[in-house]
Structure 1
Amino acid sequence: MALVAMSVWTISGALASEGPQPLPLPPQIPAAKDIAYPGTVELVVTATDLDRHVLKVSERVPLPSSVTEKGGDVVLLYPAWLPGHHSPGGPISELAGIGIKSGGKPVPWVRDTVNVNTFHIAAPAGTKELELSFQILTPITPREGRVVMTPEIVNVQWNMVALYPAGYFTRDIPYSVKLTLPHGWHYGTALRASQAPVEDTVTFETVPFNTLVDSPVFAGQFFRKIDLNRSGETPVALNVVADRPEWLAATEAQISLHRALVMQAGLLFGTHHYDHYDFLLALTKELGGIGLEHHRSSENSGPEGYFTKWDKTFPVKDLLAHEYTHSWNGKFRRPADLWAPDFNTPQRGSMLWVYEGQTQYWGYVLAARSGLMTPAQTLDAIAMVAAVYDRRSGRTWRPLADTTNDPIIAQRAPLSWRSWQRSEDYYSEGQLIWLDADTLIREKTGGQKSLNNFAKTFFGVDPGSYVTRTYTFDDVVSALNGIVTYDWASFLHDRLDRPSVHAPLDGLKRGGYRLVWTEEASPYLKAAEALKKARNFDFSLGFTVDSKGVLTNVEWDSPAWNAGLAVDETIVAVNGMAFDGDDLADAVKEAKVPAKDPLTLLVRTRDRFRTVVIPYHLGLRYPHLERVAGSADVLGTILMPLK
């Protein structure tokens, strides 16, 4: 019996399979060019459907004369790669109800089957503009995504509500925008109105599309604007929206600390790169949490007691300082591979340890220098960072540099074993690297120079300009060598590119401190636990548990991990008694007594119950920084206000 032929020879002699062959991909999307777009796109957004969480959008897109004369394929893009997200996170699934017309007549459209944020419109000859209408179906509950519309607050992010023409740098496409808000509401944004509102509709000045996307809006029923600059200075304002009007009650003393933040940032960087700056802050339980940087604004949320429970909310007081720093580091100066000509060109995050890591460092330092956090609170916060990353088990296989890919890999989704997988560790471990660099510069120059000098020379160039300047690894090394000559390339590669057992903690040692452990949680950790309604046993049992007993984190290779516990399981009982966080802490203390029985937990996993035994007898363990006797308090000096 003859064998069935499994392959054939082509005329050229190459072996070819009889199986299917791939179809060609759709045509390439027009590459962005740095040329002016011929006309201004008109965008109108209505943000009044608070009950159904729907944003209504209309858009008029003028077309180039070449399309008007002959017709052709018009390509419109929905933004995918969002600034500050470092990943293609544009909420394309929320775009619905697309209708396109020209001269009142429907025009067909088709979505690209590969680049699904791309829409092809077959424009007939003579078409001068396209009239678009659609809705953005924003999340109703956190289950669907981040909530941006509540009965009291709306967060309009322009990348969510606009399509833009392909083939042009976004800085070359002008947009004219109108926004309709619920009656009587007020708003904050880096955009400026071109005229007084008409029947709750605001008309903003025409700006390039990249500036529009970089200028979100917080609007609310309860709103307060606080000026943070002195007369004659470049305007800086704190725009606050809240679920309740009483949460806006900032005292003059609290306001003065935010003014000090602006002053300390100015002293650090030596100049600014904006013509005005607007902090946007939402104090809310309902709007989705956010911390996002922009060139002339920040987009942040905080707890309802940010002002009214000031002494209890200090663990989040570095957030505004962090995002404000991004105006210099990230927006004005940006890693070359994180800059792109439009919002659909892939970005690469290889330098996020500078973009985010050094910003995280300055966020803590500026919060302390301005008084938003006390030096003691800041030291406690640094102790937590040092402890978490020194014990991060995943660092033994995954170098820090590889975590800069995590926004694309994980898209900030929850992880089962974060301590082993690692996440965006370039933030806080990057912070430790820059503390290391700061103290090393101070040591080598006898305290005459520091990372302050780097900040001023690297980020403080081109005073007043807000045209982005990109940088590379070599640029960072060169700038550090301009402060003090050293093998900075090896210094950085050693900490970025190689797996290691321990975090880079030399900055603590040079700073005059060491990491120690006690059975008493620091005031910082206690306040953080209260804000999160959780108890942190990461450094003892190896897990964090919320007030309902749900495990929100389990550390890899910890006692809890070895006992078989995992995230999202619920502790029902501890040693036969119903779960309570305080009782669990007491049980850990009691288990330290020699010959004491191990902890016994009744655990629920969905509809199953099981008993878990944890043979742990080392007591509670919490991190602190302790002064090294006889050493200079360099870290204390770093946190002192500049003059």
Structure 2
Amino acid sequence: MIVSTLRHRLLSAAVVAALAVPAGAALADELPAAADTPYNGNLTLNVDLSQAPQRIFHVKETIPVTAGANILYYPKWIPGEHSPSGPIENVAGVTITAGGKQLAWRRDLKEMFALHVDVPQGVSSVDVSFEFLSPGGGGSFGASASSTPSLVDLELNQVAFYPAGHFTRQITIEPTVTLPAGWKFGTAMEIASQSGDTTKFKPITFNNLVDSPIIAGKYFNRVDLAPGAKTPVHLNVVGDSAEDVKLTDKQLADQRAVVVQTNKLFGAHHYGHYDFLLTLSDHTGHFGLEHHQSSDDRLPAEFFTDAQMNKLAGSLMPHEYVHSWNGKFRRPADLWTPTFMEPMQDDLLWVYEGLTDYWCGVLTARSGIWTPAQYRDSIAGIVGAMSHRTGRAWRSLQDTADAAPLTYYGRGGWANYRRGTDFYPEGQLLWLDVDTKIRDLSRGKHSLDDFAKAFYGMENGSYVTKTYTFDDIVSTLNGVQAYDWAKFLRDRLDYVGNTLPEKGIEGGGWKVVYTDQPTEFDKGAEKIRHGVNLSYSLGIAISGKGDISDVQWGSAASKAGLVPGLTLVAVNGKDYSADALKDAIKNAKGGSAPIELLVKNVDEFSTVKVDYHEGLKYAHLERSTGKDLISDITAPVK
């Protein structure tokens, strides 16, 4: 035993000597500033996805280096995710070698996305190998589930380190990807060569690598969305079954109309070709992420096969497509960074995301995915939700943008009081307010469409980012229609109080009313989300089989003691169901008897009496006075 222990210690000492910790590591204050100069030599990247069905991505990378201290970065701040969300926690097995010998590395203690490695004299490149262990559930964006036995979504920031000291646009990399046998793929990257299931792509700058995800799968469909056009646009679809990836003729026509209407809106495009990358699965994360020449769109499996799902989620791809102009080509100055390490500042997300969300709704209607009435139902739902944002009493719309790195990943209930990423929905109302104001001031001669062409309609085909500031937004708006736009915007962005500051609905000739009848969108949301939203009446939202997901701060439910996280067990002495709860609200209208709810808090049961008597309430738009500008806004451009 003594001999064995001694031998173990001697061997350990030898290993430590061979893998000596790099000197001077763990000093984030000394990380080099990035220079806008070319990096010497091309990186190579080989990603083996043959085990993607088991959620294991094998990575081998060769990085040119010079002898001495080197720093390798893993992408941290991911464009479009607006936070330091690079999923480095899913990286395992990192090994760095040179000339067949393993080199020691150490993580920086302050900047934990940086690895320090000392390179011996005479070494001109290092080989980096590791596994990316793709999440099986939970998380957001690239940290969510992205593979099933039938498909995989690969975000290239997940599988590549890059050298410190240079703008990422000055670093060139040559990527190669191997897929499971027989799988097909879609990506904006251009193919250099193919051999079996391995594809080598043309050299690409590192920033554009991160901007070029890949989807692949056993069930794959690719359709042309711009037949006959000089600039190709395609929709690539992967799913867990052959039926899920098929479009109807109407769906194909609508998606083609999105391309036509969006290009008419902006008057120029900012891609050499464009690929929608659509994943349809109930076993991956569901979100959209924008890129210059593609978009990573992930939706439930029944998107094409269920009419209600197709309507409810129909605005996702238009949203991400608009981002090619708004967010990728034109980007807030504080959101542009030379590498993926510098913090991104999100103060203009009400433009980046809010204006995109506004136009995506408009374009979803102009393309025919939504009818004008369905667009109004969508806006009514947003007005209902934003009008009941009790958190506006303390948190401004501007702060929801400023705090985006926090609010994107906030969890738990009290969403109406805490406020989250409200720069999306309230951003729609803000820009509807701007659009109707321009139309009113100009007597119909100008609109926000004119702003779109002035701000984005230049340098056709280029996707070199052009940054902007708040003053640039104001100046361009004044070029369309003279007005005190700085005050107009700041009055709404900085407002703290109990009322909704945006008045675009009224300015557009409509008003918000509440009735006891849900809209088509309300019904669809209840069916698909298996829940019920009673926020505007009783003051609660319920998911699943009675789980209270949110409670309106100060509502009748809140005053009675209901809080998020409780489970409804019974309503007025009968088993809980959504219909039973709605019937109880209807029966209590105009009366005096409270609604009795049996609730479970962990393992304790109690009866809560809610004193509410105003019936069910759902938000609708109803025609008011003045010109119907909202109908003008949603009319297709000829």
Shared topology, TM-score over 0.5? yes
Q: Indicate the residue corresponding to 2:15 in structure 1.
A: none
- The CA distance in 2 between the partners of 1:616 and 1:468, in whole Å, is 53
Q: Secondary structure at the residue paired with 1:239?
A: strand
Tell me the secondary structure at the aligned position of residue 192 of structure 2: coil
1:248 Cα offset (Å): 1.8
How many Å apart are 1:477 and its aligned residue?
0.3
Quote the residue 1:578 is aligned against: 575
| 2:75 paired residue number | 79
1:172-218 Cα offsets, whole Å, 9 max, x none, are 100101111111111111112111x3131111111001101011111
Could you tell me how far 1:26 is from its partner in structure 2? Answer: 4.5
- The answer for the alignment partner of 1:7 in structure 2 is none
Query: What is the CA-CA distance between 1:471 and the residue it aligns to?
Result: 0.1
1:40 matched to 2:42: yes
Mapping of residues 311-460 of structure 1, within 5 Å: 311-460=308-457
Q: In structure 1, give the amino acid aligned to 2:563.
A: A
2-side partners of 1:290 and 1:393: how far apart?
Answer: 26
How is 1:493-512 mapped onto 2 (pairs within 5 angstroms)? 493-512=490-509
Deviates more, 1:265-274 or 1:562-571: 562-571
Q: Is the 8 A contact 2:442 2:481 kept in 1?
A: yes
Q: Distance in 2 between matches of 1:160 and 1:201?
A: 19
Q: Distance in 2 between matches of 1:475 and 1:415?
A: 37
In 2 relative to 1, CA 638–51 (structure 1 residues): closer, same or farther, beyond 3 Å?
Answer: closer
> Which digits, 9 at most, give the CA deviation of each residue in 1:440-499, with x for residues without a partner?
000011101000000010011211111000000000000000001100010011011231
Cα 1:271/1:350, change in 2 over 3 Å? same
Corresponding residue for residue 20 of structure 1:
none
In structure 2, relative to structure 1, the CA distance for the partners of 1:26 and 1:170 (3 Å cut) is closer
Residue 216 (structure 1) aligned with residue 213 (structure 2): yes
1:194 equivalenced with 2:196 (yes/no):
no
2:628 counterpart residue number: 633
Change beyond 3 A, Cα 1:294–1:544: same
Distance 2:64 2:136 in 1: 34
> Which amino acid in structure 2 is aligned with residue 641 of structure 1?
P
Cα drift, residue 406 of structure 1: 2.7
Contact 2:509 2:630 in 1 (8 A): yes
- 1:534-570 deviation digits (Å, cap 9, x = unpaired): 1111111111112311112222111222122222221
| Conservation of the 8 A alpha-carbon contact between 2:53 and 2:150 | no
Instruction: Give TM-score, length-normalised by structure 1.
Output: 0.93
Instruction: Please tell me whether residue 164 in structure 1 is matched to residue 166 in structure 2.
Output: no
Closer/same/farther in 2, CA of residues 559 and 348 from structure 1, 3 Å limit:
same
Q: Which residue of 1 aligns with 2:119?
A: 123
* 1:305 pairs with one of 298, 302, 306: 302
Matches within 5 A, 1:521-600: 521-595=518-592, 597-600=593-596
- CA spacing shift, 1:362–1:46, aligned 2, 3 Å: same
Distance 1:411 1:625, change over 3 A: closer
Offset, 1:24: 10
In 2, distance between residues paired with 1:191 and 1:417? 42
Q: Secondary structure at the match of 1:194?
A: strand
- Opposite residue 402 of structure 1, the aligned amino acid is D
Deviations 1:336-372 (A, max 9, x none): 0000000001110111110001000001000000001
1:218/1:280 contact within 8 Å kept:
yes
Q: Secondary structure at the match of 1:528?
A: helix
Aligned equivalents of 2:566, 2:223: Cα separation in 1: 44
Return the alpha-carbon distance in structure 1 between the equivalents of residues 243 and 305 of structure 2.
8
What one-letter code is carried by the residue in structure 1 that aligns with 2:505?
L
- How many aligned residue pairs are there? 612
Pairing partner for 2:287 from 282, 285, 290: 290
How far 1:89 sits from its partner (Å)? 0.5
C-alpha distance in 2 between matches for 1:555 and 1:300: 31
Match of 1:61 in 2: 63
Q: Is the 8 A contact 1:547 1:580 kept in 2?
A: no
Give the conservation status (yes or no) of the 8 Å contact 1:303–1:313: no
**Residue 149 of structure 1 corresponds to which residue in structure 2?**
147
Q: Aligned partner of 1:92: which letter?
A: I
Give the structure-2-normalised TM-score: 0.94
Partner of 2:19: none
Alpha-carbon distance in structure 1 between the residues aligned to 2:413 and 2:305: 36
Matching residue's letter, 1:90: G
Question: Structure 1 residues 549 and 29 mapped into 2: Cα distance closer, same or farther (>3 Å)?
Answer: same
**Contact (CA 8 Å) 2:495, 2:501: kept in 1 or not?**
no
Correspondence for 2:100: 104
CA contact (8 A) 1:100 1:106 kept: yes
CA distance in 2, matches of 1:571, 1:437: 42
Letter paired with 1:383? A
How much identity, in percent, do the aligned residues show? 45
- Assess if the C-alpha contact under 8 Å between 1:313 and 1:531 holds in 2: no
Matched residues in 2 for 1:95 and 1:598: separation? 54
Q: Which residue of 1 aligns with 2:14?
A: none
Q: Secondary structure at the match of 1:48?
A: coil
Q: Which residue of 2 aligns with 1:601?
A: 597
User: Matched residues in 1 for 2:294 and 2:280: separation?
Assistant: 17
1:571 is displaced (CA, Å) by: 0.7
CA change 1:232–1:397 in 2 (3 A) is: closer
Tell me which amino acid in the other structure corresponds to 2:156: W
CA gap 1:253/1:24 in 2 versus in 1, 3 angstroms: closer
The separation in 1 between residues aligned to 2:271 and 2:423, in whole angstroms, is 27
Cα distance in 2 for residues equivalent to 1:606 and 1:199: 54
Residue of structure 1 equivalent to 2:31? 29
Q: 1:124 to 1:389 in 2, by over 3 A?
A: same
Query: Comparing 148-157 with 358-367, which one deviates more in the overlay?
Result: 148-157
Amino acid of the structure 1 residue aligned with 2:90: E
Distance 1:411 1:302, change over 3 A: closer
Aligned-pair CA distance for 1:504:
3.0
Aligned match for 1:490, one of 487, 490, 499: 487
1-structure distance, mates of 2:387, 2:254: 32
Shift of 1:51: 4.9
Report the CA distance between 1:616 and its aligned residue. 0.7
Contact 1:547/1:581, CA 8 A, preserved across alignment: no
d(CA) in 2 for partners of 1:516, 1:328: 35
- SS of 1:305's partner is helix
Q: CA deviation at 1:137?
A: 1.3
| Paired letter, 2:145 | V
- Aligned residues of 1:89 and 1:411 also touching (Cα < 8 A): no
Amino acid at match of 2:287: I
Deviation per CA, 1:239-291, whole angstroms, max 9, x where unpaired? 11111111122112210110000000010000100000001111110011121
Distance in 2 between the 1:51 and 1:324 partners? 29
For 1:226 and 1:535, locate their aligned partners in 2 and report how far apart those are by CA, in whole Å: 36
For residue 185 of structure 2, give the secondary structure of its aligned residue in structure 1: strand
Report the Cα distance in structure 1 between the residues aligned to 2:92 and 2:251, rounded to whole angstroms.
Answer: 44
Q: From the superposition, tell whether residues 51 and 42 of structure 1 become closer, same or farther in structure 2 (CA, over 3 Å).
A: same
Instruction: For 1:218 and 1:319, locate their aligned partners in 2 and report how far apart those are by CA, in whole Å.
Output: 17
Q: CA RMSD in A?
A: 1.5
